Chains A and B, each alone.
Chain A
Amino acid sequence: MREVREVFFVDGVRTAFGKAGPKGQFWRTRADDMAVKAVRELLRRNPAIPPERIGDVVMAATAQVGDQGLTLGRDVALLAGIPETVPGFAVDRMCAGALTALTAAAGEIAFGAADVALAGGVEHMGHHPMGDDVDFNPRFVSERLIDESAAVMGRTAENLHDLFPAITRERADEYALVSQQRAAAAWENGVMRETVVPMAVFTDDGWKVAERDEFLRADTSLDGLAALKPAFRAGGRVTAGNSAGLTDGATAAFLAAEDTVDELGLEPRLRLVSYAYAGVEPHLMGIGPVPATKRALEQAGLTLDDIDLFELNEPFAVQVLTWCDELGISADDPRLNPYGGAIACGHPLAATGVRLVAQLAYGLRERGGRYGLTALCIGMGMGAAVLWENVQ
């Protein structure tokens, strides 16, 4: 009987996140170059891992064309100077791209196909607006396979407000305010210094250093949020203030097998406990993390009470609030997104997963605690949840 190997999260790093579009800090920077920056910083911070020992490089991107094309994992590995003997590939599960890269790499390690794996993601939403090159199959609509609102994430968020009238615009705005405030505080403590690598970027104004997230608004107020117009529906509740903006960013992380951790003398941060992906109705994609969380807990034989920290993605405040209400967690629970979330830092689709895990590792170490959960909702009606154990 073959033994499955334990998988450890060793380290994770990201670029600062930028506003998508011509005014964003990464507008004239290539997506693959951003991923290369994250990868090289990861290599630099982990000199105990010889690059030739990397068994696979798994990179996620939602739009796998242009500067995110060419089998990104391989492309980025070569551009980063990793030896050509190290293979790589690309994955796509939209918002859960990086998380899927992590679990796919974990599978390789557990099975013995790789001892160390590099996983991450990149999304340059400025260069690749969501759905830009997508050709929706007309059957989806003509056969009513999905509700047409499923294609626009903001509309799926409005659908959640419809389904759960208790989640009001006010609650969403209040949640957004807390996210901004927590993020502002987080930039003052060590979490960002530890997980964000500054990157020199060429812009119309010359070379600059991209070192801070561009969506941060430390001066956000409830009044200011309330004044914003709904973005997706007249009289709707989802605004630019209570949702994550379109973002450019890249992330990279190291996973390693337990025996390799010992062999190389690595200091791992987290042990992978369990993970689950779940499908839900596409036009209610934001509810996806609820069944995914339940299944991940069930696999591990744990309950929510056992979890000391939650890092949830925040594409929309309503999506987090849905998860809270459905699982019985208070929205102001200190265990939830202590460093703010995507509303404040942005959400570069396929890159986000590693940000959640890296911040979770930092949080569990700084705040103490044994188990942590990372979760995201995914376009076309899915959810992802990964359970980790603190080994620091």
Chain B
Amino acid sequence: MADTTFKLNRAGSIALVTIDNGEDYHVPTTLGRSAFGSAVAVLDELERGDWSAAVFTGKPFVFCVGADIDEFGSIEDPREGIRAGHELFARIRALPFPTVAAINGACLGGGLELALHCDARTIAANVRHVGFPEVALSIIPGWGGTQLLPRLVGPEAAARVIVLNPLRQNRLLKAEEAVELGIADRLLEPVEFVDESLAFAASLSIEREAPDWSELDTVVRKTRARIDDAVHEATRAPYVALDLIAGARDWTIEEGYAAEEQAMAELLVSPQARASAYAFTVVERRSKRPPNLPDATPRAVRKVGIVGAGLMATQLAALFLRRLEVPVVLRDLEQSRVDDALASIRSDVKPFLATIVDGGTGWEQFEGCDLVLEAVFEELDVKREVFAEVKKVAPDAILATNTSSLSVKAMGADVGLHFFNPVAVMPLVEIARTPQTTDEQLATAWDVVKKLKKRGVLVGDAPGFVVNRLLTRMTTVLMDAIENGNTVEEADEAILSLGMPMAPSVLREMVGPAVAQHVLETMHAAWPDRFPLTAAGGGTARTLEEIRQGALDAVADEVQHLLYEGVVADPADVDACLILGAGWPLFLGGAVTRAPALS
């Protein structure tokens, strides 16, 4: 990662400071050790010089995205880094002239904390990434964020930005929202943003009302309940962050800094924080091209066929239509089902796209398709027949299946494209290759998944691929517990207390008990020992901790089998699948490190 430098220039009597790492916007500016060195030098200049104001801004499109995550693991003494940030930012806050952070682009974590140490903030209207992602990584904003934000916008908004948004898929603020919340003082057009921020700084006079602390107890109670719903005490960071926000009411800023330092020293070395840092890198890496992807030219996909018009097929058709903007045809046995699907899709896309989606009960409509994806009933013979019919009218089409557990090869498909429900929300697509999958087919599948804005992971043609195999294995532990006297609620609670997003019984209802049972049968056929159809009774009920540990152990054991079979090329792929496809929280760090032979 490129070194970040604070660069000072004079704009009349105003100090104009740029936070820049010398790279374009693809490499966002972070705050590491070298950045602090240059920032201290600039602060010396600011304290010595005869300035009327200072404006801090970033290189084009980026303000500053916070601490360098690569340096997380290597800090021997976490307190040192926290203290350095407090000292530096406190000097900015103490400057004897007005200071303005001109937020021209992504402003996250330590970048936002820097901005909060200024007297006021301008923000460009096109900024879409403002926030504190720390809690999502099981740490806290430790450079004054938990102390200054509540002092600026009050505890409720601070709790939302620092605690709750990170737990909602790391939701970030757009410029307008940042202004509405009071984080930024002035929304400016991007076109002359730095010029206008300089003018704003030149005539700065900000009168702030004291934040409203009267509802603090309610805010704390409500926020704590929402944290419980999300993580079930499986990670401490959100609770600690909430305590720090509440503490800001009575603490001096120095006391607040000290409390942050203490909290950070404990959290940074926690297993959850380490797991999160690992998981974050794993997920980020998944967005890049995998090394085992063949170097073939993907085929242009100009027409897509979807076999089936059920819930999944309808979602898939809508996704392909919206992202690829090519003709999509659906086929089902009954015209009324097709019509319902078409009506639902058409009501949900741009008018032009509504005219290029069609469907019927015949096979001939698939003529000219480059890709045909089936999402029909999970029955091997049915799927075989589907692909045999498709081949007659579209002999050149790539045949893909959305099967959740059946053999891609056995049904006569070229490649598996396994999406997760709900399609619009879940980022993962398992791309299953068979020994017969050609390089072109695989490259096309990867390319299509990318254009659908999903995260693809290459997997082998093994029953259940990765996600369903591991989740089903986990379910066997729960079934066993229930068979031996535990209630469904207890099983749910055990899994939720790991920080899982959804109770297993709820998930089973969503997937459909028939489908879940079918997956189990497929897995049982392959590995009867590890996937029994009925649990053995006769034992006694387990404690929640036993269920929890049993579930994790079972998954870890299955991961090992999966890796020995070579279902994925890289162990980290397994964890990416669990995070992106099953919604496992980052702080669990996936399952690979728990596999006995690998840890």
Residues of A in contact with B (beta carbons under 8 Å apart): 36-37, 40, 79-81, 198-200, 202, 204-209
Contacts and interface: CB of A to CB of B under 8 A. Distances in A.
B79 interface: no
B192 interface: yes
A209 B11 contact: yes
A209 B191 contact: no
Contacts of B8: 206
A79 B12 contact: no
Nearest to A36: B191
A206 B192 contact: no
Contact of B192 (A40, A202, A207): A40
Interface stretch (B14-22, B65-73, B163-171, B339-347): B14-22
B7 interface: yes
Nearest to A199: B195
A157 to B, nearest CB: 37
Contacts of A205: 7, 9
Contacts of A200: 11, 16, 192, 194-195, 198
Interface of B: 7-9, 11-12, 16-18, 20, 22, 57, 59-60, 189, 191-192, 194-195, 198
A208 B9 contact: yes
A202 B59 contact: yes
B191 A207 contact: no
A81 B189 contact: yes
A206 B195 CA distance: 14
B16 A206 contact: yes
Nearest to B20: A206
A29 to B, nearest CB: 10
Given A200-B194, A200-B198, A207 B57 contact: yes
A40 B7 CA distance: 28
Contacts of A209: 9, 11-12, 16, 195, 198
Nearest to B60: A202
Contacts of B195: 198-200, 209
A81 B60 CA distance: 20
B18 A206 contact: yes
Contacts of A81: 189, 191
A118 B289 CA distance: 49
Contacts of A207: 7, 9, 16, 18, 57, 194
Given A205-B7, A207-B194, 9 more contacts: A36-B191, A40-B192, A80-B191, A205-B9, A206-B9, A207-B18, A208-B9, A208-B11, A209-B9
Give the 3 A-B residue pairs with the shortest CB-CB distance, closest first. Answer: A206-B18, A206-B7, A200-B194
Contacts of B7: 205-207
Given A205-B9, A206-B8, A79 B191 contact: yes
24 contacts: A36-B191, A37-B192, A40-B192, A80-B191, A81-B189, A81-B191, A198-B195, A200-B16, A202-B18, A202-B60, A204-B22, A205-B7, A206-B7, A206-B8, A206-B9, A207-B7, A207-B9, A207-B57, A207-B194, A208-B16, A209-B9, A209-B12, A209-B195, A209-B198
A365 B18 CA distance: 41
A198 B195 CA distance: 8
Interface centre among A81, A199, A200, A205 (most CB of B within 10 A): A200
Nearest to B196: A200
A207 B196 CA distance: 13
Contacts of A198: 195
Nearest to B198: A200
A81 B190 CA distance: 11
Nearest to B12: A209
A281 B194 CA distance: 47
A207 B192 CA distance: 12
Nearest to B16: A207
Contacts of B194: 200, 207
Contacts of A208: 9, 11, 16
